[in-house]
Amino acid sequence: MQKKLQQLTDLQALDTKLYSIEKAKGNLPYLVNEFTNEIEQFNNELEEFNNDFDDTKKDLNESKTTIDESNTLLGKYKDQRSMVTNNKEYEALVNEMAYRENLVEELTLKISELNIALENKKELIEEKKSILEEKTANLSEKQQQLNEKLAETAEEENKLAEKRNKLVAKIDKQLYNLYERIYRSKNQAAVVPADEGHCGGCFTMLPSQKLSELKRRDSIVQCDTCSRILIYSLEDESK
Ligand SMILES: [Zn+2]
């Protein structure tokens, strides 16, 4: 049993170190992730804006082509008008000319509107691009900071993780599950000292019966209040 208690104490010590390393990284991993998502979303938006710009430009070019075609036709109709011999043909020609003249007028108006829209869209795209540049620079800065921190601690972290794996392989499975359950639900502290007569996790005073149980060190003793595993410190054994 003493061996089991020692294993649990060692496991808690390793986990505490690993946790403090994780905490030292701060919110950088979170920030890098956030920035990456944001940039991806921004890129998608920019692509949509660019597509919209291209569509407007296409619309503009089509309108210009139609105007050119209409003007060519109008020139032709004017020549034809002088050669028409009957009223019916003349009327049809005049109608067709009126239609084309209207069309040219409408499309000319549309083109000037489209030109304004294109200018606005261009501005918006430039704005988005500069925000994107800023965000990308921010991301690479955070990424670099994270990489530096990771490199600093990677070696220590690997060593600790390796030690932990070896230790866990030796620990009784049921006991390990109990430890994990408490560790995760009780703020990364599953094994706490009880030397001072109270639980080192929730600071509840321990009844004398519990203390003597602890001193015997022949069973796993948990705090009645917080369920953490209590350990009567090993140094005290010599006293
Ligand atoms: Zn407690």
Q: pLDDT (tens digit, 0 to 9) for every residue of the chain, 239 residues total?
A: 889 999 999 999 999 999 998 888 888 888 899 999 999 999 999 999 999 999 999 999 999 999 999 999 999 999 998 888 899 999 999 999 999 999 999 999 999 999 999 999 999 999 999 999 999 999 999 899 889 888 888 889 999 999 999 999 999 999 999 999 999 999 999 999 998 899 999 999 999 999 999 999 899 999 999 999 999 875 544 33
Supply the range of the domain harboring residue 214.
174-238
Whether residue 231 sits in one domain with residue 115: no
Q: Kindly state whether residues 30 and 121 are assigned to the same domain.
A: yes
Question: Can you tell me the distance from the alpha carbon of 201 to that of 191, in angstroms, rounded to the nearest whole number?
Answer: 8
Q: What pTM does this model have?
A: 0.58
Helix axes of 87-170 and 2-24: crossing angle, nearest 10 degrees? 150
Distance between CA atoms of 206 and 59, rounded to whole angstroms? Answer: 82
d(CA 78, CA 33): 68
User: 161 to each of 11, 15, 164, 165, 225, how far by Cα in Å?
Assistant: 11, 9, 5, 6, 31
Q: What pLDDT score does 97 carry?
A: 96
- Give 233 Cα–ligand 1 centroid separation in angstroms: 16
CA 33 to chain centre: 4
Q: Ligand 1 centre from 194 Cα, in Å?
A: 9
- C-alpha triplet 172, 195, 171: angle, nearest 5°: 10
**CATH number for the domain including 96?**
1.10.287.1700
118 located within any domain: yes
Q: Which helix (H) or strand (E) holds 214?
A: helix 208-216
- End residue of a domain, out of 126, 154, 182: 154
Given this model, what pLDDT does residue 12 score? 96
149 CA → ligand 1 middle, Å:
35
- The pLDDT, as a whole number, for residue 146 is 87
In the reported structure, the alpha carbon of residue 31 is separated from the centroid of ligand 1 by a whole-number distance in angstroms of 35
User: 212 C-alpha vs ligand 1 centroid, how far in Å?
Assistant: 16
How many structural domains comprise the chain?
2
**Residue 205 Cα, ligand 1 centroid: separation in angstroms?**
9
State the pLDDT at residue 79.
92
For residue 166, is it within any domain? no
On whether both 181 and 129 belong to a single domain, the answer is no
Distance 7 CA to ligand 1 centre (A): 20
Contact 182, 229 (CB under 8 A): yes
The closest alpha carbon to 29, from 149, 138, 133, belongs to 149
Residues 65 and 114 in one domain: yes
Query: CB–CB of 210/229 below 8 Å?
Result: no
* Distance in Å, CA 176 to ligand 1 centroid: 19
230 phi-psi bin (left φ>0, alpha ψ -120 to 50, beta other): beta
> From the CA of 192, how far away is ligand 1's center (Å)?
8
> Tokens 């049921």 belong to which residue?
174
End of a domain among 124, 154, 184?
154
Q: Tell me the CA–centroid distance for residue 239 and ligand 1, in Å.
A: 25
Provide the residue type at 225 as one letter.
Answer: T
- Judge if 129 and 211 occupy the same domain: no
Per-residue DSSP letter, 198 = B
In a domain, residue 2? The reply is no
Q: Residue 6 falls within a domain, yes or no? A: no
